[in-house]
Structure 1
Amino acid sequence: MEMIISTWNIERFKHKDKDQQMYQLCHEQKADIMVLTESDRQFKQNYSYEFHTPLITQAPADYPLPARYEDTENRVSIYSNYPLVKMHETHDKYTAICAELATDCGNLLVYGTIVGILGNRTATFKDEVRHHIEDIQRLSKLGNMCICGDFNCSFSDNYYFTNFARKSFLNIFEQENIKLLTKEQTECIDHIAVSGDFVGDMKCKVSEWNLEKKLSDHKGITVELY
């Protein structure tokens, strides 16, 4: 069996004047599962199934936001060639979404998220990390997981991280037998982690795109399991 998973923070679709280049990059990944963060409903992907966090403009007035959002913006979108089995509740429906998908390798709970609504330098960041850890702990009991999206934390260098977030995620991944497949990528805060039982003895190839960050301020990350 083979599976390709990609994630990309599209920076709130600020570069919509280059949308065709962005579409082409996404298409080139040939991903079975694509998780877009800081996404926009205008940047629609050609997949059989799609799942989105609610539009940010629908959030309560006291929801913490770094800036004004457009009417078409949402935090996370999951696109999939695999059908939905069930949606699962997350700690914050505006920034984390979990869709259980029926893949060729068995059911997989795809948890797409942005960790840290205001980045990792705010007073609320530790609480947000804790909420994510609680989600992972709870959901991993239901089956194999893929945690995918913007972690606001690098794991292999000093690019952008906090000790608390790094240790917290590595601890929960070890505890729940989840493999952080993008751990060794440098200058990387967008990650893909998959349950060890799901990966099994499959090999893993990691690639990056938008390296010059001209279409977004984040690189795209693709993991191929084969």
Structure 2
Amino acid sequence: MKIINFNIERLLILSKLKPIIQLIKSYDADLIVLTETNSTLIDLGEDYFEYHTTPLTRNQDKVNFYREGENRVSIYSKYPIKSIIQTIDEFTCLAIEIETDFGELIVYGTIIGIFGYSGDKDRFVKDFSKQQSDFNKIFGNKNVCIVGDLNISLSGWIYPSRKYRDKLNTLIEEFDMDRSTGNLKDNIDHILMSKKFIGNRGIKVEMFNVDKKLSDHFGICMTINK
């Protein structure tokens, strides 16, 4: 099972659209989560079921720069979507349940801090708190995967603060999740997976777009061996 996580920087430069799609498709992933995206422009083909957060209006969150079709999170899955789970913020996070080769899995795609931390500290704190309540409500004892731009590094450069690094580590421990993407230095985009879902299978985590030519974020790929 292969999972991709990539923040594509709102497709600010449209000439990057084709190489971004080519790069994503080259991984032939089973599950793809894109953040800062545009569901009207991204077409990954008929192999994928897809679900998106609610499209943004131009003046969403009292700014004036969103373009037609922009949305914050999209999930593309080769596995059928069993159910869509209501989240606390329809514009910023979404949750679906899928039936994989390894069993049922709830995938929670999100951005924590839509303007980063330095851009709007109060919004970051609000997003973290609201989504934490979502986790407590939705996850229970189920197999879960949090994927997206969490704006928190777990190694290397401390961002946004040691306090929120500790808070995220506490959540990881509480829900007994693998934190392999946290070992990627200076990385703020994560794939956090239930350890019980992974079981005894080996996993591999790699980064792409390391030169940041296609986006200002690293792309992350996690492979779970059969």
Specify if TM > 0.5. yes
TM-score range normalised by the length of the shorter chain? over 0.9
Change in 2 beyond 3 A, CA 1:213/1:124: same
State the 1:157 CA deviation.
1.2
Structure 2 unaligned segments of length 5 or more: list them. none
TM-aligned CA deviation for residue 160 of structure 1: 2.9
What is the CA–CA distance in structure 1 between the aligned matches of 2:13 and 2:220, rounded to whole Å?
19
Match of 1:155 in 2: 154
Partner of 1:33: 31
Residue of structure 1 in register with 2:49 after alignment: 49
Q: What TM-score results when the alignment is normalised by the length of structure 1?
A: 0.92
CA separation of 1:106 and 1:145: change in aligned 2, threshold 3 A? same
Quote the offset at 1:30 in angstroms: 1.5
Once structures 1 and 2 are overlaid, which stretch shifts more, 21-30 or 154-163?
154-163
Q: Which piece of structure 1 moves more, 201-210 or 160-169?
A: 160-169
1:1-226 matched pairs, under 5 angstroms: 3-41=1-39, 42-46=41-45, 47-57=47-57, 63-64=60-61, 67-121=64-118, 122-141=121-140, 143-158=142-157, 160-226=159-225
Higher RCO (CA-CA < 8 Å; seq separation 6+): 1
CA contact (8 A) 2:95 2:109 kept: yes
Paired residue secondary structure (2:16): helix
Query: What is the CA-CA distance between 1:156 and the residue it aligns to?
Result: 0.5
Q: Percent identity?
A: 35
Letter in 2 for 1:36: L
Whole-Å separation in 1 of the counterparts to 2:62 and 2:141: 31
Q: Distance in 2 between matches of 1:142 and 1:87?
A: 18
* CA gap 1:159/1:175 in 2 versus in 1, 3 angstroms: closer
- Contact 1:115–1:128 at 8 Å: present in 2 too? yes
Residues 176-226 of structure 1 show CA distances to partners (whole Å, capped at 9, x for unaligned) of 111122010012110000111101111111111111111111111000011
Deviation beyond 6 Å, 4+ runs, structure 1: none
Counterpart secondary structure, 1:64 = helix
Counterpart CA distance in 1 for 2:208 and 2:89 is 29
- Gap runs ≥5 in structure 1: none
Return the letter of the residue paired with 1:123.
Answer: D
